[in-house]
Amino acid sequence: MSEHNPDAPAWLQLPSDVNALYASAWPTSAHRDAQGVLRFAGVSATELVDTYDTPLYLLDDAEFQHQALMYRDAFDGYTVYYASKALLNRTVVRWVAKAGLGLDVCSGNELRLALEAEFDPARITLHGNNKSLDELVLACESGVGRIVVDCMDELLRIEKLISDGLSAPKLLLRVKTGVQAHTHEYIATAHEDQKFGFSLSSGAALEALQWARSKGLPLVGIHSHIGSQILKVSGFITAARRLLELLAEYRDTTGEQLPVLCLGGGFGIVYTPADTPLPPHDLAAALRAVLPNDCARLGLELPQLAIEPGRAIVGPCGVALYRVGVVKQVELESGGSRTYVAVDGGMSDNPRPALYGADYSCALANRASDAEPVLARVVGKHCESGDILVRDCYLPADVRPDDIIAIAAVGAYCRSLSSNYNMALRPPLVALRTGTARLIVRRETFADLMATDVG
């Protein structure tokens, strides 16, 4: 076997079997068949590529339900909302309803899609840091259950809508708690110097709560979101404690306790062996060990608690398939080498590595190999050096053009963040369950791109 390449990150171990999958990163149904071909939910990767071509997104229906029910059951007594920005389409909306979860949306169009898919509006929460008047009107007229208010301008708009005769949903005030989440700067959302919410430390959050009460707005609670892909529970506990103190301060100044506390989402998942998230039951147990005691200390009744997992539900059930076009050997300054494997997708269908330095696990999907593992980098076909899909992985030394590469845990924020860079066409999305495949979002065509070009 080849020696571990010194240019590989510490978490990436030289595999004893280059055909083995790092199971924690893949859907439970993923396995190699007797021919060495990867199967997902009983469906062969090669059959999927023959039918739908590449690049291709896959979603394991049973895995989605499994993850959703784990959160619903672990957080029994909480209201669990699926954070739709991770991935939203009609099928996912129906899966969320089937699991008995609520739905949070961040734009008017996400709300319109949910309503078109006949999701119960009373179980929808509308988020966003810059909701337009039209979006607020749509939320009010459609009867969404909650609006998370992000700033004073939104409170003023909602006050005006109510004075004009609209019935506003229940309101939660988004509070930035000052918690420094251990995640990438761009997806840490609770520190002071960022765009979301009312500052706790400056007193702005309490002032806004008091103002909303003075105007008779339908205020029911507070909301926090500390970031995304968070692997430790400590940040959630710190944020919750600070929010409980805010509830107590509001109670002391008004004589009333707000009944709802939403801790947001951002629960991390496994992409590579570097990721060690707590299982949902352990997360819930850690919060239950703290919050009732803090409420008792502050003289509060335990609020109605809510969470908003998105990535944690849909991320693990997604797989992407790509076709290899070019393989290059690159000599490194250290004296080692790296195999560059260029595929027919890239940052247009998964910009997370370019945006956040995100890491993924991958595997050769169309066959098994007896070749030794080599340090590889899976890259796209776009005109950017940062067009990287998997920065560090071990693939068999005989990887070659027309092979199929599978990348795990792409269910969240890949399709949602995808683009038409270099006029790439967004891949189709195929749902899998018990040996069957069903197209749920078709591949874009060149005609789709040109339809908006009116020049």
Structural Rg of the chain based on CA atoms: 23
On the question of a cis peptide bond just before residue 55, with omega within 30 degrees of 0, the verdict is yes
Calpha distance 113→411 (Å, rounded): 19
> The sheet that has 43-44: what strands, in order across it?
31-32, 38-40, 43-44
Token pair recorded at residue 197: 């919410």
- Name the amino acid, one letter, at 417: L
**Are 207 and 260 spatial neighbours (Cβ–Cβ below 8 Å)?**
no
Angle among Cα 270, 273, 275 to the nearest 5 degrees reads 45
Q: Tell me, yes or no, if 414 is annotated catalytic.
A: no
User: What is each CA distance from 92 to 1, 123, 281, 334, 444, in whole angstroms?
Assistant: 43, 15, 24, 46, 19
List CB contacts of 160: < 8 A, sequence separation 6 or more. none
Q: Are 351 and 419 in contact (CB under 8 A)?
A: yes
- Amino acid sitting at position 207: E
Q: Rounded CA gap, 93 and 104, in Å? A: 11
* Helix residue ranges per DSSP H, 216-351: 234-254, 280-288, 291-298, 311-314
Structure tokens at 32: 């190699």
Q: Are 128 and 135 in contact (CB under 8 A)?
A: yes
Contact 266, 228 (CB under 8 A): yes
Q: Which of 140, 295, 362, 383 is catalytic?
A: 383
Give me the half-sphere count of Cα atoms (radius 13 Å) on the Cβ side of residue 194. 20
Answer whether 392's CB lies under 8 Å from 375's CB. Answer: yes
Q: State the catalytic residues.
A: 383
